[in-house]
A = this chain, B = another copy of it.
Amino acid sequence: MRLPMSPTDSMFLLGETREHPMHVGGLVMFEPPEGRTASDLREMFVDAIARSDGEDAAPLWRKRAVRSPATFGQWAWEDDPSFDLEYHVRFTALPRPGSTTELRELVSRLHAPLLDRARALWEMYLIEGLDDGRYGLYMKMHHALADGVGAMRLLRRALSSDPDETGMPAPWAVPDTSDPQRSVVGAAIEMPSTAMRAARGVISEALGLVPTIIGTVDRAMHDRGGSLSLAAPQTILNVPIAGSRRFAARAWRLERLRMVAKASDSTLNDVVLAMCSGALRAFLAERDSLPDESLVAMVPVALRNGKDSGNDLGVLMCSLGTDRPETAQRLAGVRTSMSEGKKSMSGMSTVSRLAASAVGVAPLALGVLTGNRVLSRPGFNVIISNVPGPDTPLYWNGARVDAVYPLSVPLDGQALNITCTSTDGRIAFGLTACRRTVPDLGTLLDHLDAELVALEHAVGISPGVDVAEAGF
């Protein structure tokens, strides 16, 4: 039984190359419950795999992408007939005593390779050996299967807010009844064999959309955000990329950003963008590579249309104000740019919204369709996403989630991706970059930290205190 794939999702497969795999990732840091160690938690995973016949894995975790004459050459989903849980769930360790530096190196390496397309498009790694007693769960999932928001929803459902809850199922065995992907896949099981005829209709419709999407993307890039230049300046980040990755991450107390937002009548997202603006300005300036024009960020925003499906995102183009020397000026610029963008999007038709949901992959889509690897002048310089997470402590069988660090997808012409996730009162910035293009992500973290302090100064509040952390 095969189910069609949405055109947006299939673009993530079509546009994938060995230089830019299209999967997202997340590193969840766990604190073992009192008196238990990482090995105890490994045993729980090993037991869950041993008990499983594969049938307990939820449909989302079992489906694979297929393309054949039977699907008219288009990508579709089907249940993996040889689903192999032991392949997907992996156990590894750091050389002891393991530090967060080594964990970051390991996760950078794990994030680089392509997923096996013959299988369900995910891998999970339980990582032991950190000398502080925590353990990491790195999760890798194809963008065609879930975006950052979808992945956070899956994570949230696999966890409990009750520290004493035990007997919780493994993440892949959590029933995904609230997931629309599930209802699609679930429905498929009851569909008669003639369902491919219906699927064919959906595929044709999807194909028809592509020119609309490209056209809308083009218009969107030129019309939206009145204060924006028509395109972004060329920077050292906007070049072709290679297949290796560099990952760095740090978390700050969410309250610090909230205070800055409140004192400046901005949103939390504006503060995130202003931090990135100041940090990127400093990062580029110290490399004598700061352009005269402001950098433009592509900022995915949730499309609030009552649905809750896979890659249901819209996009704003935000002028980051990196040409402005003062922190307060940059924050004001970001606020104006985002506010104008939102007004423009609220006036969009349903068709435009649908088309805009493909903007995230526009450079890719254009590249696939035109054969150009990198546009001579980028439409934007950097993708900055903020994926909201739960605000309370979360647990898996008593192990507390200490932090969640997101990893995303650098692209040709977009060598750096910044994705933020907030959990339990902290906001984590995950920087995923082409290892060859962006040599020193650590300094960018330091600049983010300095910019948060500068923002606190600029709005007249005293700098907040954060747990000192080297990277994580």
Which of these binds chain B: A116-124, A149-157, A368-376? A116-124
Q: A93-B129, A119-B436 are in contact. List 17 more A-B contacts (CB 8 A).
A: A18-B18, A82-B436, A84-B436, A87-B244, A90-B105, A92-B95, A93-B95, A93-B96, A93-B98, A95-B128, A96-B128, A113-B114, A116-B244, A118-B243, A118-B244, A118-B436, A129-B129
Q: Does A452 contact B (CB under 8 A)?
A: no
Are A18 and B114 also in contact (CB < 8 A) when A87-B435, A119-B244, A244-B87 are?
Answer: yes
Contacts of A343 in B (CB 8 A): none
Q: Does A112 contact B (CB under 8 A)?
A: yes
Q: Are B42 and A95 neighbours in the complex by a CB distance under 8 Å? A: yes
With beta carbons under 8 angstroms apart, the residue of B84, B112, B436 that contacts A113 is B112
Measured in the bound complex, the distance between the Cα atoms of B102 and A290 in whole Å is 48
Of A96, A102, A112, most B-chain CB atoms within 10 Å: A96
Measured in the bound complex, the distance between the Cα atoms of B91 and A95 in whole Å is 7
Q: Does A262 contact B (CB under 8 A)?
A: no
Measured in the bound complex, the distance between the Cα atoms of B116 and A114 in whole Å is 11
Q: Does A39 contact B (CB under 8 A)?
A: yes
Measured in the bound complex, the distance between the Cα atoms of B96 and A94 in whole Å is 10
Q: A386 CB to closest chain B CB, in angstroms? A: 30
Find the B residue at minimum CB distance from A17.
B18
Q: A73 CB to closest chain B CB, in angstroms? A: 15
Contacts of A113 in B (CB 8 A): 112-114
Q: Are A39 and B95 neighbours in the complex by a CB distance under 8 Å? A: yes
Contacts of A242 in B (CB 8 A): 116-119
Q: Does A303 contact B (CB under 8 A)?
A: no
Are A106 and B118 also in contact (CB < 8 A) when A112-B113, A113-B112 are?
Answer: no
Contact-residue size bin, chain A (C-beta under 8 Å from the other chain): 20 to 34
Contacts of A96 in B (CB 8 A): 39, 93, 128
Q: A42 CB to closest chain B CB, in angstroms? A: 6
Contacts of A84 in B (CB 8 A): 435-436
- Interface hits, A38-83 → B, CB 8 Å: 39, 42, 82
Find the B residue at minimum CB distance from A246.
B87
Contacts of A106 in B (CB 8 A): 92
Measured in the bound complex, the distance between the Cα atoms of B112 and A112 in whole Å is 12
Measured in the bound complex, the distance between the Cα atoms of B129 and A119 in whole Å is 30
Q: Does A36 contact B (CB under 8 A)?
A: no
Q: Does A109 contact B (CB under 8 A)?
A: yes
Q: Are B90 and A109 neighbours in the complex by a CB distance under 8 Å? A: yes
Contacts of A102 in B (CB 8 A): 91
Contacts of A95 in B (CB 8 A): 39, 42, 91-93, 126, 128-129
Q: CB-CB contacts of A104-141 with B at 8 A, as 1s and 0s?
A: 01100100111011110000001011000000000000
Measured in the bound complex, the distance between the Cα atoms of B118 and A423 in whole Å is 37
Of A95, A106, A112, most B-chain CB atoms within 10 Å: A95
> Can you list 10 A-B pairs with a CB-CB distance of less than 8 A?
A18-B114, A82-B436, A87-B435, A92-B92, A95-B126, A96-B128, A118-B243, A118-B244, A119-B242, A119-B244
Measured in the bound complex, the distance between the Cα atoms of B116 and A378 in whole Å is 25
Contacts of A112 in B (CB 8 A): 113, 116
Measured in the bound complex, the distance between the Cα atoms of B437 and A116 in whole Å is 14
With beta carbons under 8 angstroms apart, the residue of B39, B91, B116 that contacts A243 is B116
Measured in the bound complex, the distance between the Cα atoms of B7 and A5 in whole Å is 41
Measured in the bound complex, the distance between the Cα atoms of B128 and A95 in whole Å is 6
Contacts of A19 in B (CB 8 A): 118
Contacts of A128 in B (CB 8 A): 95-96
